[in-house]
Chain A
Amino acid sequence: MSEHTHDHGHDHDHPHPNQPDIDSEPMGYYQLMGSALGELLIEKGVITADELRAAIENVDSRSPEGGAKVVAKAWTDPEYKARLLENGTAAVDELGIDMPATHLVVVENTDKVHNVIVCTLCSCYPRMLLGLPPDWYKAHAYRSRVVREPRAVLKEFGTELADDVEIRVHDSTADMRYLVLPRRPDGTEGMSEEELVELVSRDCMIGVTLPRSS
């Protein structure tokens, strides 16, 4: 986040703690509301400006790399994989990823079963492992259709599965989040855990694509 700087010809001493990234347009109503909420909470001492900065950094710092490390470890360490499938929350905690107040269920893809995750009611998503969810995950089309016609939806992501592969769609809740453990691609036997991390994309951990093989 860059510091907001002014270059508009007059001095002023009021703080601008909450400028939007894009300064070219006036703030919309809900941006104003969010900004007002933040300032009021700080003025009232409910939160501090430092806490808010740290929280925004925290939101920013989460990325699919966390999930990819979990997947690569599961691919290379059978005992870890067993623990991950048994209790996802505890197993990701081993890697320093804390998922407070949510239960993580890890579902494993095999040559017979392919898993896909969705939250039809809102946008529940393992953010600690994958970062902020993509727009399509939160949008009507995906949430409506993937539970009814998953094959057609996967095709829109360029993913075509053999007819004999069963597709299981898991609907997340506020308290239960899913992570797909993709199949380790063929031909990656010689790769290190670090190299494997690079193959694991966000979308293959949602189940809409497959991991790269190189």
Chain B
Amino acid sequence: MRGPHDLGGLPAGSVDLSEHEHGFWEKRIDGIRLLLADKQRRLISVDEMRRGIEALGKEAYDKLNYYERWTASVTGVMLEKGVITADELGRKIAEIEERDKARFEDD
């Protein structure tokens, strides 16, 4: 069966040539992946990264944008390997969300 990532030869619309400046969050996950993959750490290989993306399932694959898929995959592999735990991740996300919300609660 064709996975959601396997797009070669399928019908599709015209190519959207518009481009965007990469945001900091996109470069950050790229940088995190580079570090985790380097010789010193070897915590994620290209193949593990791809497996994580391909395992997202069609709905998520189509819905998430490129670096969202990367984020899901790198984070998933770090959870699998026990580098971080789901509990730590959940708490940290909540903490950062609170901090982020505080930016909009001026005065």
Residues of chain A touching chain B, judged by Cβ–Cβ distance below 8 Å, are 1, 8-10, 12, 14, 16, 18-23, 26-28, 30-41, 44, 46-47, 51-52, 55-56, 58-60, 101, 118, 120-123, 132, 134-136, 138-145, 147-148, 153, 156-157, 171, 174-175
Contact = CB atoms under 8 A, between A and B. Distances in A.
A27 B106 contact: no
Summarize B's interface: helix, strand, loop or mixed.
Answer: helix
Interface in B10-63: 10-20, 22-25, 27-32, 34-36, 41, 43, 46-47, 50, 53
A124 to B, nearest CB: 9
A36 B35 contact: no
A23 B95 CA distance: 17
Contact of B17 (A12, A46, A144, A156): A156
A136 B17 contact: yes
A36 B43 contact: no
B87 to A, nearest CB: 11
Contacts of B18: 135-136
B67 A32 contact: no
Nearest to A15: B99
B66 A21 contact: no
A46 B7 contact: no
Given A9-B106, A35-B28, A51 B16 contact: no
A140 B7 contact: yes
A83 B105 CA distance: 60
B89 A33 contact: yes
B33 to A, nearest CB: 9
Given A30-B64, A44-B83, A47-B32, A37 B71 contact: yes
B34 A58 contact: yes
Given A21-B24, A33-B72, A55 B89 contact: no
Interface of B: 5-20, 22-25, 27-32, 34-36, 41, 43, 46-47, 50, 53, 64, 66-68, 71-72, 74-75, 78, 83-84, 88-89, 92-93, 95-97, 99-104, 106-107
Given A36-B92, A58-B31, 8 more contacts: A1-B24, A19-B24, A30-B68, A32-B96, A47-B41, A120-B9, A122-B53, A136-B19
Contact of B88 (A28, A40, A140, A141): A40
A145 B99 contact: no
Given A9-B107, A121-B5, A144-B9, A33 B32 contact: no
A8 to B, nearest CB: 4
Given A35-B25, A40-B88, A134 B19 contact: yes
A35 B98 CA distance: 13
